[in-house]
Each structure stands twice: as structure tokens, then as C-alpha cells.
Chains A and B, each alone.
Chain A
Amino acid sequence: MLHFDLADHYQRGSSRIHRLDPRIKVIGAFLFILVATLLPFGAWPSYALLFVATLFIAQLSGLGAGYALKRSFIVLPFALAAITLPLTVPGETLAQWGALTVSVEGTVRFVSILVKSWVSVQIAILLAVTTAFPDLLWALRELRVPRPLVGIVAFMYRYLFVLADESLRLRRAREARSAAGTGRAGGSLLWRGKVAGGMVGNLAVRAFERSERIYNAMLARGFRGELLTLTPPAMTDSDRTMLVGWVTFLAMATLIGFVFAR
């Protein structure tokens, strides 16, 4: 049987972070990113504090301080969206190349955006890596995300692998028939696109038919339109304390940032 392993984001563990109530982790991560975005440009001490915080969380989660660091460079290419900032933001001249002027303000802004993005991604990685997906969904449900939406996401996640398997099978079947004979290999662009489109259509039909069978299975077990769930465990005091500590830290970092960048 074909087994398709989506990059399994969750690293099993029993660290303090793993055991932390998932609601707190979601809130904590979101607040962190909020603060990172809110900080003014050039608030270097705050950026440093946030960076140290990510190292701390990574270490505390038992994955090693550099875990999220190594995986965070994926945002780097998008930095090029902001690459023109040093050249277009008006201000004190830093350097000059012919007609192009690089400004201090522009460079500060550019680097700030990079750093903000970089620490945000690290905390997002740490959230995903220390929280099992069902727990993540549970946290979202508790945090008042509409239940039908969470239900849909849960189904999506469950069948991701099933459909990814089917997609893989279709692609392998195509590869197996993509030999190069004599003459021009590959077919026309349009033809290749149509083949890909046909595969997508095929996958769509399979998805529909599967959803019908799943719906019948749900009916067979008493489903009447609303997904019911068991009561989750209550939050511990220790977890609450950690949240308070985290919020305090973030508030301090924000204050320092605004004072420094004045």
C-alpha cells in the first residue's frame, strides 16, 4: 500500500511546552507575532529580546535551541518583496551607487521587517511542532472559532493524507508513462496542462465520491448535522502562570521598543 508521509510537523515529546495547554500556546504565539508586528522599525533591543525568547522556548521544548532557527530561513526569499525599501524610503543617505541612493531609514525598515518576519516564523514553527493537530483544533474550538469551521478543518486534515496518496498515485502513473521515445519528448505545453487538469478533475471526482461514503458512515453512527465532542480538561494554574509571565514579558518588550525607537 502506498504510504504518503506529509512532512509530519508534530514532534512527539513530553516537555513543559508539549504539556502546556494548547489554548495557551495558540494565544501565546499569536500575541508574540502581534507584538513583533506592532514594534516600531529599528527597535533593536526588543527584537533581540524576542529572538532570545524563541531560543528559550525551543530549548524548553526539548528540541534544542536551534530547532526553529534552522527551519525559519524559508521566509528569506520573500524578503525580496521589501528589497526596494532601502532605495525608496526618503531619509539620510547611507550609500550611493550612481543614480541609486540607499537611505538609512530605508535600510532600517528593511532589516526590521526581515527580523520581525524571522522571529514570527520561529514561534509559529514551535507552535506547530509541539502541538498535536487534534489538540490544536480543540484549542481553536475553545477559543470560539465556529464549530462547523473547526469540523471542516478536522476533516480536511484527516483526509489530506488519503487524497495526497491518491494524488501521488496519479502522478506516479503519469511518470510511468512519461518515457522519451524518438522525436520531441514532452508533448506540447497545452497538452501537458490538460493532462494535469485531467488529473485534478479525477482527484475531484474521487473526493466527491469519498465524501458521500463518509457522509453515509456518519449517518450510520447517528450524525444529524452537528458534530459533538467530549468535554476537554480544565486549564491548570501552572499553565495560567506561564501565560501571565509570557504576557508580561511581551508587554515589557513592547514598552522598551517604543521608548528606544523614539
Chain B
Amino acid sequence: MHYTIEVTGLTFSYPDGHRALNGVDLRIAPGEKVALVGPNGAGKSTLMLHLNGILNGGAGEVRVCGLPVKAENLGRVRAAVGLVFQDPDDQLFSATVYEDVAFGPLHMGLPEAEVRRRVEAALAAVGMSAYAARVPHHLSVGEKKRIAIATVLSMDPEILVLDEPSAGLDPRARRGLIRLLCELPQTMLVASHDLRLVAEVFPRTVIMDQGRIVADGPTPVLLTDVALLNAHGLEPV
């Protein structure tokens, strides 16, 4: 079976000695929408940073669309994994929105006409076409988060990996984000503390704690298991 993401026995310690991943096994098939939940420090962000090779050097293996995540494959891996960080200010680093969304396809080496087409398509997909000429710092958090998603959409990734997309959003912006996540057809892996969002959008949930995956199954089943949730620092909705 062809998997978009295949993580086998992944172990990783940070330079300061902190063991962040303790043997993680995870498989995500094309089209799946998966939520990643767990307490702070569980290793969610660390795992995500392994998916496009920003972190490496530990034990175990990561494969993206069958390609091992190694130095020689990083270009293709990064085009396939659209990683959106938690703080949109880290993600939107160009002078204008248009340039930010163009950054990915441009650095993939695509011809200009194609780059422009993708930028327009990505902005349209997140409903932010009118914002193309805007300067990032003047935008609201909700707007920035949508544009951050557009910046990876323009790379036409196989999978969208989002870290806490609803953090800091007011109810209206959050509702807009939920709608967007439901509409987008891409495979997704989304880390979130917002269990209501998880219940609404993601059919499958993976629970992480202390660098290990402790549960992996259908969302309705996991999110109603109160004992399981409490054991790993989570609360039922």
C-alpha cells in the first residue's frame, strides 16, 4: 500500500539531552485527515519537524511518499510536505503576501508563469485573493493563518502538516478555519489542543505522550474514552 507518511521506530534526543521521541510508528494514507493530540512536551512538534527533514540524526526512519527523508531527497520531500508552523509571523517572512505565497513554488524552480498561476490558485483556495498586495504585519491573526496555509498550498503538497492552527483565533476566525480545513482536499496531519475542532474535522486521532504514540484510532472512539484522555493530560469536550 502506498503511504504518504511512514514513520518507523523514530527516536530523537535534542542536543541538550532531552529525549523528545521514544520510538514512534505512524502511517498515513493518501486522503486521510489525522489529528495529533497530546499534552505540551509530548513530542508533536518534534515529530512534525522530522517529516520534512528539518530535524534528523536520531534512530528510525521517515518516508514521505515512499522516499526516505535524507539529504539528497530533501528538495522533493519539502515540496511534498507542506508544514505550517504555529506562529504565522514565523511563516510570513516576505515583504508582501504575494511574495510569501510565491516563495515556495519559486524556490522549487518552477517557471514564472506557473508560479503566478499557483499563487493565484492558492490565495483563492483560502479565500484571500484580495490580500495579495498587502503587507503581512498589518493583518489579523486569522488572516495571517489562512495566508500561511496558502504559502504551502502553492507548493501543491501531498500532505498538509499544521501545528496548532486554531491557537489564538477568535470564534469567528476559528469557524472560518474549520470550514477551510473541511473544504481542502489534501491529506492532513494537524496537531491541536482544540478537541472540538478535532471532533468536527478529523475522522482519525493519534494521541501522543512522552515521545510515544499511546493511541491511534477513530476520533469518536478516542475522544469519548475519558480515562484515556485524563491519563494523558487531556480533557473530554
Q: Does B151 contact A (CB under 8 A)?
A: yes
Cβ–Cβ contact B95 & A134, under 8 A? yes
* Contact mask for chain A residues 219-246; partner B; CB cutoff 8 A; 1 contact, 0 none: 1111110001111000000000000000
B22 contact set on A, CB distance < 8 A? none
Cβ–Cβ contact A213 & B85, under 8 A? yes
- Closest A residue by C-beta to B86: A213
Cβ–Cβ contact A214 & B96, under 8 A? no
B94 contact set on A, CB distance < 8 A? 154, 158
B96 contact set on A, CB distance < 8 A? 134
Q: Does A137 contact B (CB under 8 A)?
A: yes
A162 contact set on B, CB distance < 8 A? 89, 137
Please report which residues of chain A, range 183-224, place their CB below 8 angstroms from some CB of chain B when the two chains form the complex.
210, 213-214, 216-224
Q: Does B222 contact A (CB under 8 A)?
A: no
Q: Does A73 contact B (CB under 8 A)?
A: no
Number of interface residues of A (CB under 8 A): 27
Q: Does A1 contact B (CB under 8 A)?
A: yes
Please report which residues of chain B, range 83-138, place their CB below 8 angstroms from some CB of chain A when the two chains form the complex.
83, 85, 87, 89-91, 93-96, 99, 102-104, 106-108, 112, 115-116, 135-137
Report the minimal beta-carbon distance from A131 to chain B, rounded to whole angstroms: 13
B49 contact set on A, CB distance < 8 A? 216
Q: Given contacts A1-B141, A162-B89, are A220 and B52 in contact (CB under 8 A)? A: yes
Cβ–Cβ contact B152 & A221, under 8 A? yes
Q: A224 CA to B104 CA in the complex, in Å?
A: 11
Report the minimal beta-carbon distance from B155 to chain A, rounded to whole angstroms: 7
Q: Does B54 contact A (CB under 8 A)?
A: yes
Of the residues B81, B108, B112, B137, contact of A161 by C-beta under 8 Å = B137
Cβ–Cβ contact B89 & A222, under 8 A? no
Interface of B is mostly: helix
Please report which residues of chain A, range 128-146, place their CB below 8 angstroms from some CB of chain B when the two chains form the complex.
133-134, 137
Please report which residues of chain B, range 136-178, place their CB below 8 angstroms from some CB of chain A when the two chains form the complex.
136-137, 141, 151-152, 155, 168
Q: A159 CA to B152 CA in the complex, in Å?
A: 21
- Closest B residue by C-beta to A226: B107
Q: Does A56 contact B (CB under 8 A)?
A: no
Cβ–Cβ contact B93 & A217, under 8 A? yes
Cβ–Cβ contact B95 & A137, under 8 A? yes
Q: Does B78 contact A (CB under 8 A)?
A: yes
Q: A217 CA to B82 CA in the complex, in Å?
A: 10
Of the residues B54, B106, B151, contact of A219 by C-beta under 8 Å = B54
Of the residues A134, A216, A221, A231, contact of B103 by C-beta under 8 Å = A221
Q: Does B185 contact A (CB under 8 A)?
A: no
Q: A77 CA to B141 CA in the complex, in Å?
A: 41
Q: Does A260 contact B (CB under 8 A)?
A: no
Cβ–Cβ contact B85 & A216, under 8 A? yes
Among B54, B112, B141: residue with most chain A CB under 10 A: B54
Q: Does B30 contact A (CB under 8 A)?
A: no
Q: Does B79 contact A (CB under 8 A)?
A: yes
Cβ–Cβ contact A217 & B85, under 8 A? yes
Cβ–Cβ contact B112 & A155, under 8 A? no
B99 contact set on A, CB distance < 8 A? 134, 229-230
Q: Given contacts A210-B90, A217-B85, A221-B155, are A231 and B112 in contact (CB under 8 A)? A: yes
Q: Does B75 contact A (CB under 8 A)?
A: yes
Report the minimal beta-carbon distance from A185 to chain B, rounded to whole angstroms: 36
Among A155, A218, A222: residue with most chain B CB under 10 A: A222
Cβ–Cβ contact B102 & A230, under 8 A? yes
B168 contact set on A, CB distance < 8 A? 1
Cβ–Cβ contact B91 & A217, under 8 A? yes
Of the residues B78, B135, B137, contact of A221 by C-beta under 8 Å = B78
B89 contact set on A, CB distance < 8 A? 159, 162, 210
Show 29 residue pairs from A and B whose CB-CB distance is below 8 angstroms, ordered by the A residue: A1-B141, A133-B135, A137-B95, A154-B94, A154-B95, A158-B137, A210-B89, A213-B85, A213-B87, A214-B90, A214-B93, A217-B90, A218-B93, A219-B52, A220-B52, A220-B78, A220-B85, A221-B78, A221-B104, A221-B155, A222-B78, A222-B79, A223-B103, A223-B107, A224-B107, A229-B99, A229-B106, A230-B112, A230-B115
Q: Which residues of B contact A (CB under 8 A)?
A: 49, 52, 54, 75, 78-79, 81, 83, 85, 87, 89-91, 93-96, 99, 102-104, 106-108, 112, 115-116, 135-137, 141, 151-152, 155, 168
